Structure 1
């Protein structure tokens, strides 16, 4: 399976695209994504699709610094749950080390290495795509994001000694120099940055010592989960993300994972599952959560679960639960919140 990234990797994409005269819906559709996917930051989407989207957007907008513009929109919270504990680490070395050790929790494409020698620290950023494809925009986004993270740890005026990119220089390097400083070079041996190793020993400006133990306890519970998400889990999560779009099919799920439908079927079969069984189980789980609440109309719930009509949803619900959704809602309401 191809690597996945959290939808937070595209934070600000829709707004930036529109500001540059680009239709985000059309471009996302071309790579098998949907703007509805971005509504929840903890969803996972195809990493190569996200990389391709950034390249298409740079071309369509005529801005070869599109990825860098995305980096400028980054928030520390975009890292997800790991951000809660990283911001409470006492110094930059421990904060950055934790971030790199657990980067699979927010981006499976990233392979970042930190080394120290002769008083200098080198942070190398690689994207492991599985295929040969252009990745200039995603690379610049990643290096730009790390620069902003280090500034959060240190000082808003902090700059690395040098920033290197393996690809060629842009037509206009102005935005690059404003973000990275004067030590910017292209056509070099790696993507990344060099800075004084002493910076790693600086206190983390964001840390609150009183919150560290609480943050650690929360994070340890999350990090204890197995590193490798199973194919079944990935398919289940994609089904839940795609249902409200009306495009939840085995073909769309396979495209999001970067494989063909037969590969998805084969992996699911190893776990004694089928796409239909996962689709039905996901719908049942969601239905149990939302039908009892009067805050949503049954028509809204029908759309949320990906049915073409309210009547189709009602027939399915009766088959699964033995009564109509209205009767289920009434029964749960009579039981009250603390009963049955």
Structure 2
């Protein structure tokens, strides 16, 4: 049985168009056709050019992936994010710049980012002296989101660089997606070690002085901008139960099979409540995990640089043989055969 996530129009999962500031010019600069990319993503130029208008988050992520394909630049999101200055990010970027100090800027950025980009989880945490600015999309419908993740962490890094100087670098960078083919460029862009296949995207770093003043600090402006963002965004968005569940399952696959108790706890539910609600949706937990693994396998097998053992681990399989059996069950062929067949079609 194949499970389909909600096919709604995307209501309740918007991102403000400021997140796409300058993207049309950047696509052209990279040798792509911005009109074609926007059209295929289901976006129009009038909407994308108004920073306060909402864009469907799925269409926005699709635009970034299409831009990478159209320009032939597999690291499109990385390059776009590295040049993306805080002012370009609209209200959320201006809020960070107006904060009194860097610690406050990061707290505001993490706390208010889900209003700028709905159905998103952001956090600013500290553990054993290491700070972590974390980000992930909660919507289980959005499978292809690598370009968005690399863009967003580039945006976050540039907020820190505005206060600490252009040479600032994190201690480590985490990405939830698999290691790209041109992974060395990521290490050079962030000037830090990069880890892939993590449960979330994050910048990890230490700060000598979190109270270091932001250059553009202005408390009255901060209050006004915060109120404006809350008014424009309205809320942090809504997802169907199944879409939320898929998002939680995906974030745990890299650690092995996502046990239902842990996923239920993350959603604030008892196990029996989760199972009852799934039954009301016409599916089971095991079917949902199986379908998500299958859809991600289809995506990862297309990335030729990824070893099959890495794909198996990303999907929560402890052994390659288990992944092979799953591919035979899903597609009628082993992963090595599937790749040969794909090559024959190219």
TM-score (normalised: structure 1): 0.61
Aligned positions of 1:36-115 closer than 5 A: 36-115=46-125
Structure 1 gaps of 5+ residues are 232-340
Aligned to 1:218: 224
- 1:138 corresponding residue in structure 2: 148
Contact persistence 1:24–1:35 (CA under 8 A): no
Which structure has the bigger radius of gyration?
1
How far did 1:226 drift? 8.7
In structure 2, the gaps of 5 or more residues are 1-10, 238-346
State the shift of 1:193 in Å. 1.8
Q: Counterparts of 2:160 and 2:194 in 1: how far apart (Å)?
A: 17
- Contact map agreement 2:86 2:94 (CA 8 A) in 1: no
Contact kept, 8 Å, 2:14 with 2:57, in 1: the verdict is yes
TM-superposed deviation, 1:125: 1.1
Question: Equivalents in 1 of 2:48, 2:215: separation in Å?
Answer: 27
Task: Please give the TM-score of this superposition, normalised by the length of structure 2.
Answer: 0.60
Q: Distance in 2 between matches of 1:7 and 1:65?
A: 21
Q: How do 1:1-340 residues align onto structure 2 when only pairs under 5 Å count? A: 1-199=11-209, 201-208=210-217, 211-212=218-219, 214-219=220-225, 221-222=227-228, 225=231, 228=234
Q: 1:39 to 1:124 in 2, by over 3 A?
A: closer
Q: 1:36 to 1:222 in 2, by over 3 A?
A: closer
Write the distance in 2 (CA, Å) between the matches of 1:143 and 1:218.
Answer: 26
Change (3 A) 1:155 1:131: same
Q: How far apart, in 1, do the equivalents of 2:100 and 2:75 lie?
A: 34
CA distance in 2 between counterparts of 1:39 and 1:224 reads 20
- Across the aligned residues of Structure 1 and Structure 2, the Cα RMSD in angstroms comes to 2.5
CA distance in 2, matches of 1:10, 1:224: 19
Number of paired residues?
Answer: 227
Change (3 A) 1:221 1:168: closer
